[in-house]
């Protein structure tokens, strides 16, 4: 189990605030840290990895102390793999050498390249690869040391949707094959839903909720069948009703409200758009 109980003062965009987190992650679990920009997600990963020192508290992994008042285990002794948005590959080495640099194990490198469908590209230069291929090499390299923990900081956010979906599948394959604990920082609810069994939601340095993706994101109440959070962009009166324009996940939708319903609503409010079971259509627009 990974046990993190740490405090650290951070300098946020709106002044200082305290990152104060207590979280436990079961061995082999695939979890997500979710929350607004600047809430402290990356700092948690960096503290776990040993790149950032907490002000107080402890970090323990499988009973081993990574950090407490007396101990601060060096990053290279923590057996942690990383994957960030920028690939951080060695451009002067070919694909397979990037992997072998992490660990000189040809059989493992070959197996990982096979899982990532990179066979045949062993000797390709990094600069000749697409973004998706580079990220697959970076993923394979992160797993070369067979880390106990894999930290993923928005690793797929620079990729187009099709490539994201592929990379998610590779991540799942690696997780299944090696059984490491994985901590993913992502803003993509669909991605978290697909990959993670548990989500920790952070706000201003505190964990405000945790649970399964369904518990966290469905936000159902009563007989609602779906509910999406959005932001009010415009409120217009049309005769006896109000039409509210809401931005939901990058899409605009209009919701018709009565006077009473629109009474307390103003532009920029955060809202939840929900519907019951009747009359909802689902149409496939793309086969992936």
Ligand X SMILES: Nc1ncnc2c1ncn2[C@@H]1O[C@H](COP(=O)(O)OP(=O)(O)OP(=O)(O)O)[C@@H](O)[C@H]1O
Single out the residue of 236, 287, 288 nearest to residue 266, CA to CA: 236
Q: Give the helix/strand (H/E) hosting 268.
A: none
Q: Which is nearer to ligand X, 35 or 147 (CB)?
A: 35
CA distance 70 to 86: 34
CB 248 to ligand X: min, Å: 20
Helix residue spans in the chain (DSSP H): 41-49, 95-102, 106-115, 131-143, 161-178, 189-195, 213-217, 259-262
Q: Which is nearer to ligand X, 118 or 149 (CB)?
A: 149
Residues that bind ligand X (CB under 6 A): 10-13, 35, 37-43, 52
How many Å is the maximal CA-CA distance in the chain?
73
CB 205 to ligand X: min, Å: 8
CA distance 149 to 122: 26
CA distance 181 to 195: 12
CB 147 to ligand X: min, Å: 21
CA distance 88 to 137: 10
CB 274 to ligand X: min, Å: 26
Q: Which is nearer to ligand X, 41 or 166 (CB)?
A: 41
Work out whether strand 206-211 and strand 251-257 pair parallel, antiparallel, or are unpaired. unpaired
> 116 near 140, Cβ under 8 Å?
yes
CB 80 to ligand X: min, Å: 17
The set of residues, in sequence order, having a beta carbon less than 8 Å from that of 53 and lying 6+ positions away, is: 8, 47, 67, 72
Q: Which is nearer to ligand X, 5 or 157 (CB)?
A: 157
CB 33 to ligand X: min, Å: 8
Q: Which is nearer to ligand X, 37 or 251 (CB)?
A: 37
Q: Which is nearer to ligand X, 270 or 287 (CB)?
A: 270
């Amino acid at each position: 189990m990974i046990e993190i109980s740490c405090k650290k003062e951070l300098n946020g965009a709106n002044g200082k605030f305290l990152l104060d987190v207590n979280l436990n992650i079961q061995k082999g679990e695939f979890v997500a840290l979710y929350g607004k920009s600047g809430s402290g997600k990356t700092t948690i990963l960096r503290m776990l990895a040993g790149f950032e020192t907490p002000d107080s508290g402890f970090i323990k992994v499988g009973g081993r102390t990574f950090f407490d008042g007396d101990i601060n285990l060096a990053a290279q002794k923590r057996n942690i793999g990383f994957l960030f948005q920028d690939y951080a590959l060695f451009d002067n080495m070919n694909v397979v050498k990037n992997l072998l640099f992490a660990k000189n194990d040809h059989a493992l490198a070959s197996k990982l390249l096979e899982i990532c469908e990179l066979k045949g590209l062993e000797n390709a230069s990094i600069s000749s690869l697409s973004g998706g291929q580079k990220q697959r090499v970076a993923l394979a390299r992160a797993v070369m040391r067979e880390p106990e923990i894999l930290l993923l900081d928005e690793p797929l956010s620079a990729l187009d949707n099709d490539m994201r979906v592929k990379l998610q599948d590779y991540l799942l394959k690696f997780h299944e094959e090696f059984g490491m604990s994985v901590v993913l920082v992502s803003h993509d609810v669909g991605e978290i839903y697909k990959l993670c069994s548990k989500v920790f939601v952070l706000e201003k340095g505190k964990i405000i909720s945790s649970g399964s993706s369904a518990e966290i994101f469905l936000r159902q109440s009563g007989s609602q069948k779906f509910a999406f959070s959005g932001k009010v962009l415009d409120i217009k009166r049309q005769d006896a009703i109000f039409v509210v324009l809401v931005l939901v996940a990058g899409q605009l939708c209009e919701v018709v409200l009565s006077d009473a319903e629109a009474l307390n609503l103003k532009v920029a409010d955060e809202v939840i758009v929900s519907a019951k079971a009747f009359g909802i259509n689902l149409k496939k627009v793309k086969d992936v």
